[in-house]
Chains A and B, each alone.
Chain A
Amino acid sequence: MKQIEIKKDILSAHEMLAQENRELFERKGTFVLNLMSSPGAGKTTLLERTIELLKDTFSLAVIEGDIATSYDAERISSLGVKVVQINTGGACHLDSAMIKNALAEFSADRLDVLIIENVGNLVCPAEFNLGEDAKVMILSVTEGEDKPFKYPLMFRIARVLIINKVDLLPYIDCSTKRIIRDAISLNPDLKIFEMSCTKKIGLNLWKEWLKEEINKKKYKIIAR
């Protein structure tokens, strides 16, 4: 019997592809968002609102991840935005290899923004880097205020937290104060927005943040 040292990260192959994606986005000056949440928290509605906010100013495209169906892709392409659908066929998350394949569809496009909608799930997508600039997680108030401590990895790795469906707060027992306090204790650098995507509440601050980040990335290639 012989023991051999490996000391290798299981996801190292994924990590390498994520790095390749990241370098491609750097070269093209494309700002990339990875939207993650549980099913039904409002990812697709946030995506629709975000497209409306940005499409007159920036060139943008979308990658839709779903286990099955192209319902979301149809919703998005009706807004006149190029969308590539990835059906994971059962897998609970997107990974860097799937994104790399999907990027072939955009090879000729000059994109300011690429928005990736991950599969609805608060656990697995947190473990897989795609090469994005910002992991954006959406928590709707109807899911309950105890979620940050139940899903610590997701809250720890996210750069942005969107607390969605705040228009429903008068009808339910949920304190956004507690969500914010617990989320910040897991991740002090977390940028937080409170919104209702269906009622179009709180969208302005989100738009301002996005514009600044998109421009930063875009002008980095010019400055080089």
Chain B
Amino acid sequence: MHEYSIAQSMMQIVLAEAKKAKARKVVKVSLKIGDLAGIFPDSLSFCFDLLAKDTIVEGAALIIEKVPLRGYCPHCNKVFLIKDNQYLCQHCGNLNIELTTGRELQIDHLEIEDEAN
């Protein structure tokens, strides 16, 4: 439901970065979205297309790479996947783990056509 606000913030960054890079057109926007982030990709794409209209981003492909949820246990010094809401160390059962990945809402990179081509 908050995909529209996320898409708006995303578009601001994309337009600013594209301008900095002197882009004529943005061809691809590549995102990293963590599994724990409450984002529905189809809905994000829909809002993105809507906001891209009549800008240099119109028609750009939105590529969403999902990032799995991973935890780190300071006792075992190990990183592991978290599945089925098992927020504990898979090796020693410690509950006090840190999430290392899975909450990403990140623009990873853009593909642009610049003034040279």
Does A224 touch B at the CB level, under 8 Å? no
Taking a contact as CB atoms closer than 8 A, the residue among A5, A92, A93, A153 that contacts B109 in the complex is A5
* Residues of the B chain whose Cβ atoms lie less than 8 Å from the Cβ of A91: 2, 4-5
Determine if B1 and A123 form an interchain contact, defined as CB atoms under 8 angstroms apart: yes
A189 and B98 CA atoms in complex are apart in Å by: 12
Whether A8 contacts B111 in the complex (CB less than 8 A), given A1-B117, A95-B5, comes out as no
From A6, A12, A91, A185, residue with most partner B Cβ within 10 Å: A6
Inside 8 A of B95's CB, which chain A residues have their CB? 184-185, 188
Known: A4-B17, A92-B1. A9 touches B106 (CB 8 A): yes
Q: Mark A118-144, 1 if CB is under 8 A from B, else 0.
A: 000101101110000000000000000
Given A95-B5, A149-B85, A185-B87, do A6 and B112 touch, yes or no (CB 8 Å)?
no
Question: Which of B10, B38, B110 meets A10, CB within 8 Å?
Answer: B10
Query: What interface size band does chain B fall in?
Result: 35 or more
Q: Hey, which bits of chain B sit against chain A, CB under 8 A?
A: 1-2, 4-6, 9-10, 12-13, 17, 21, 27, 31, 36-38, 85-88, 95-96, 99, 103-114, 117
Q: Is A13 an interface residue (CB 8 A)?
A: yes
Enumerate chain A residues within 8 angstroms of B5, measured Cβ to Cβ: 91, 93, 95
Q: Is the CB of B85 within 8 A of A186?
A: yes
Interfacial chain B residues near A13, Cβ < 8 Å: 9, 12-13
Offer 5 A-B interface pairs, CB within 8 angstroms, sorted by A: A1-B117, A5-B108, A91-B5, A124-B2, A185-B85
Q: Within 8 Å CB of B103, what residues of A?
A: 153
Give A30 to B108 CA distance when docked, in angstroms. Answer: 37
A177 within 8 A of B: no
Q: What is the distance, in angstroms, from A187's C-beta to the closest C-beta of chain B?
A: 8
What band does the interface of chain A fall in when counting residues whose beta carbon is under 8 Å from B? 35 or more
A28 within 8 A of B: no
Q: Are B6 and A156 in contact, with the CB atoms below 8 A?
A: no
Q: Are A4 and B107 in contact (CB under 8 A)?
A: no
Residues of A within 8 A of B (CB): 1-14, 91-93, 95, 121, 123-124, 126-128, 148-149, 152-153, 156, 182, 184-189
**Considering only CB atoms, which chain A residue lies closest to B94 in the complex?**
A188
- Does B87 lie within 8 Å of A6, measured CB to CB? no
With A7-B108, A124-B1, A188-B96 already in contact, 15 other A-B pairs whose C-beta atoms are closer than 8 Å = A1-B113, A2-B113, A6-B13, A8-B106, A10-B106, A11-B105, A91-B5, A123-B38, A127-B2, A127-B6, A153-B37, A153-B38, A184-B95, A185-B88, A188-B95
Tell me the nearest residue of chain A to B8, going by C-beta: A10
Measured CA separation A91–B27 after assembly (Å): 29
Question: For the complex, what is the distance from the CA of A128 to the CA of B112, rounded to whole Å?
Answer: 30
Contact with B87, one of A2, A124, A186 (Cβ below 8 angstroms): A186
